[in-house]
């Protein structure tokens, strides 16, 4: 939200040139064509290195100071816990890469949780209930995307509104009750959230698979490159003939669907759904994306980055609990880490050297 958004015609060319020089290209290889630095030096320069390094330091410190942090059980618990938020982060990253933001993911999470539970409780089969729920989530995303593109609103506004609206719908569906008793005991649906595949928690496996798909799409496909283009310089993207509107709508739909998926998986794990599911999760999701190097201004961000960002957030919270930290310090820590992470990223980019 900072920086000039309205470009007076007079400055158009100058601004375009300036923005082009500020645009961070997703692949470093292009910039270093002239002097092809060695693999080691290139690795050091990527943004992921910074946060992976930070993560390693954190893990090391916690292994020494926090009891049982490094135990297999704890790590597996962590992976399960972070998967729900992680799935949503993938979608949010896509939205942020196009220069937008989606504040409604927490409410869509909740709405999907209660909608799927209610449908199953009413006797619908697991698969149709989940599919229908994801369609509902997609329609919320469609609405968000429509407002951002056709009605030209700042993404903050419609997603803020759908945040309230989706939560309201969740309240209506639950009519204040917890929905339970929709899972016949010991069935496959529980395995979605609570089971294991090859020793790893199922949600984590789902998260990793989705992350790999997302990574490939963002880095290798034409669609992915178009997303970066839209976020980097929307005007230029439009001028080169990209259907910016359709691209933007697609990421909002994706974000909502992934939020819905997280809600469904969590519900299968907890086996009850209350209207508060997912409350406040949007902030964790955005924080993880930002720690992972995704900029709010768009055009930047990688799947590896947000993956690591999600892990960092979970490791931090888990570590603080293991250390027996008082609840109130946890808030202070998490807040400071977020700012610190972005600060380091700015440092790496040398943002304020250019003034």
Partner 1 sequence: MKVVLQTTLLVASAALASGAWAAGKPLAKECGPNNDYVIGFSQANFKEPYREHVNHELERLVKNYPKFKLVIADGQATVNTQVSQVENFMTQHVDLLMISPFEAAPLTPSVSAAYKAGVPVIELDRKTSGDNYTAFVGGDNRAIAKEAGEWAAKTLLPDGGEAAILEGLPSSSPAIERLEGFKAGIASNPKIKLVAVQPVDWMEDQAVTVFSAMLQAHPDIKLVYTSNDLAAAGAYIAAKQAGKADQVKIIGTDGLPGPSGGIRAVADGQWAATFTYPTGAAQALELAKKILIDCATEVPRNILVPTQRIDQANAKSLYGKEKF
Partner 2 sequence: MSTTPTSTATAAVRPRNSLLTYLVRFQSLLGLVLVVSAGIMFSPRRHGHILFLAPDNVANIIRSISETGILSLGMTFVIIAAGIDLSVGAVLGLCSVLTATLLVNEGWGLWSTLSLVVATGVIFGAIQGAISTKFRIQAFIVTLAGLQVARGLSLIASNNSFININYGTGPGNAPPAFGILGERIGGVFPVATLVFLVLAVVAAFLLNNTRYGRYVVAVGGNEKAARLSGIPVSAIKISVYALTGFVAAIAGIVHAGQFSFGSPNDGAGYELTAIAAVVIGGTDLFGGAGSMIGTIAGAVMLGALANILQLNDVSAAMQLLATGAIIVVAAALQTYVVGRGVSAR
**x/- contact string, 311-330, with partner 2 (CB under 8 A)?**
---------------xxxxx
DSSP assignment string, 125-189: -HHHHHHHHHHHHHHHHHHHHHHHHTS---THHHHHHHHHHHHHHHHHHHTTSPEE--S-TT-HH
- Contact residue for partner 2 among 6, 38, 127, 185 (CB under 8 A): 6
179: left (phi over 0), alpha (psi -120 to 50) or beta: beta
Q: How far apart are CA 181 and CA 118, in angstroms?
A: 10
Please check whether residue 183 is in contact with residue 268, taking contact to mean a CB–CB distance below 8 angstroms. Answer: yes
**How many residues in the shown chain lie near partner 2 by CB under 8 A?**
58
Query: Whose CA is closest to 114, among 283, 281, 260?
Result: 260
Which stretch, 149-157, 194-202, 251-259, 306-314, contacts partner 2 (CB under 8 A)?
149-157
User: Least CB distance from residue 111 to partner 2, whole Å?
Assistant: 12
- Contact residue for partner 2 among 25, 177, 235, 246 (CB under 8 A): 235
Instruction: Answer with the entry of partner 1, partner 2, none that 93 interacts with (C-beta below 5 to 8 A by kind).
Output: none
Which stretch, 46-54, 180-188, 254-262, 346-354, contacts partner 2 (CB under 8 A)?
346-354
**Toward partner 2, which CB reaches closer, 203 or 299?**
299
Q: Binding to partner 2 by residue 300, rule CB under 8 A?
A: no
Instruction: Answer with the entry of partner 1, partner 2, none that 5 interacts with (C-beta below 5 to 8 A by kind).
Output: partner 2
**Toward partner 2, which CB reaches closer, 161 or 191?**
161
Q: Binding to partner 2 by residue 154, rule CB under 8 A?
A: yes
Question: Is the CA virtual torsion 195, 196, 201, 207 positive or negative?
Answer: negative
User: Cα–chain-centroid distance for residue 278?
Assistant: 14
- Contact residue for partner 2 among 138, 153, 270, 323 (CB under 8 A): 153
Instruction: Answer with the entry of partner 1, partner 2, none that 229 interacts with (C-beta below 5 to 8 A by kind).
Output: none
Instruction: Answer with the entry of partner 2, partner 1, none that 336 interacts with (C-beta below 5 to 8 A by kind).
Output: partner 2
Q: How far apart are CA 155 and CA 147, in angstroms?
A: 8
Q: How far apart are CA 229 and CA 239, in angstroms?
A: 11
The total of other beta-carbon atoms located within 10 Å of residue 191's CB is: 14
Q: Binding to partner 2 by residue 283, rule CB under 8 A?
A: yes
User: Least CB distance from residue 41 to partner 1, whole Å?
Assistant: 39
**Toward partner 1, which CB reaches closer, 251 or 259?**
259
Binding site for partner 1 (CB under 8 A): 66-69, 71, 73-74, 77, 80-81, 171, 176-178, 180-181, 194, 266, 269-272, 274-277, 317-318, 321-324, 327-328
**Toward partner 2, which CB reaches closer, 3 or 241?**
3
Q: Is 148 exposed, middle or buried (CB count within 10 Å of its CB: 0-12, 13-18, 19+)?
A: buried
Q: Binding to partner 2 by residue 297, rule CB under 8 A?
A: yes
Q: How far apart are CA 40 and CA 59, in angstroms?
A: 23
Please check whether residue 80 is in contact with residue 72, taking contact to mean a CB–CB distance below 8 angstroms. Answer: no
Q: Binding to partner 2 by residue 286, rule CB under 8 A?
A: yes
**Toward partner 2, which CB reaches closer, 205 or 337?**
337
Please check whether residue 96 is in contact with residue 230, taking contact to mean a CB–CB distance below 8 angstroms. Answer: no
Instruction: Answer with the entry of partner 2, partner 1, none that 290 interacts with (C-beta below 5 to 8 A by kind).
Output: partner 2
Please check whether residue 256 is in contact with residue 137, taking contact to mean a CB–CB distance below 8 angstroms. Answer: yes
Q: How far apart are CA 224 and CA 273, in angstroms?
A: 35
195: left (phi over 0), alpha (psi -120 to 50) or beta: beta
Binding site for partner 2 (CB under 8 A): 1-9, 11, 101, 147-148, 151-154, 156-158, 160-165, 167-169, 171-172, 234-235, 283, 286-287, 290, 295-297, 326-336, 338-339, 342-343, 346, 351-352
């Amino acid at each position: 939200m900072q920086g000039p958004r309205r470009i007076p015609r007079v400055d158009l060319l100058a601004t375009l040139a300036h923005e082009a020089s500020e645009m961070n290209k997703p692949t470093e290889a292009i910039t270093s064509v002239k002097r092809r630095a060695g693999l080691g030096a290139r690795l050091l320069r990527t943004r992921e290195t910074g946060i992976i390094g930070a993560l390693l330091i954190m893990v090391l410190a916690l292994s020494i100071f926090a009891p049982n942090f490094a135990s297999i059980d704890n790590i597996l618990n962590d992976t399960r816990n972070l998967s729900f938020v992680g799935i949503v982060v993938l979608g949010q990253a896509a939205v942020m890469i196009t220069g937008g933001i989606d504040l409604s993911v927490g409410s869509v999470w909740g709405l999907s949780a209660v909608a799927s539970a209610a449908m199953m409780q009413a006797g619908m089969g697991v698969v149709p209930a989940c599919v229908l729920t994801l369609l509902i989530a997609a329609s919320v995303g469609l609405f968000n995307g429509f407002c951002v593109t056709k009605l030209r609103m700042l993404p903050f506004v419609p997603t803020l509104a759908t945040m309230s609206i989706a939560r309201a719908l969740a309240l209506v569906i639950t009519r204040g009750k917890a929905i339970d008793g929709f899972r016949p005991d010991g069935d496959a649906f529980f395995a979605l959230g609570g089971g294991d595949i090859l020793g790893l928690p199922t949600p984590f496996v789902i998260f990793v698979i989705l992350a790999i798909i997302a990574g490939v799409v963002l880095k290798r496909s034409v669609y992915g490159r178009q997303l970066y283009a839209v976020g980097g310089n929307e005007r230029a993207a439009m001028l080169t003939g990209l259907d910016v509107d359709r691209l933007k709508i697609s990421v909002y739909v994706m974000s909502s669907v992934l939020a819905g998926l997280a809600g469904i998986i969590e519900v299968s794990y907890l086996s009850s759904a209350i209207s508060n599911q997912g409350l406040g999760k949007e902030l964790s999701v955005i924080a993880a994306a930002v720690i992972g190097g995704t900029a709010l201004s768009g055009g930047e961000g990688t799947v590896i980055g947000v993956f690591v960002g999600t892990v960092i957030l979970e490791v931090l919270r888990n570590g603080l609990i293991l250390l027996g930290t008082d609840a109130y310090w946890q808030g202070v820590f998490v807040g400071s880490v977020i700012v610190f992470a972005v600060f380091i990223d700015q440092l790496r980019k040398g943002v304020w050297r250019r003034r």
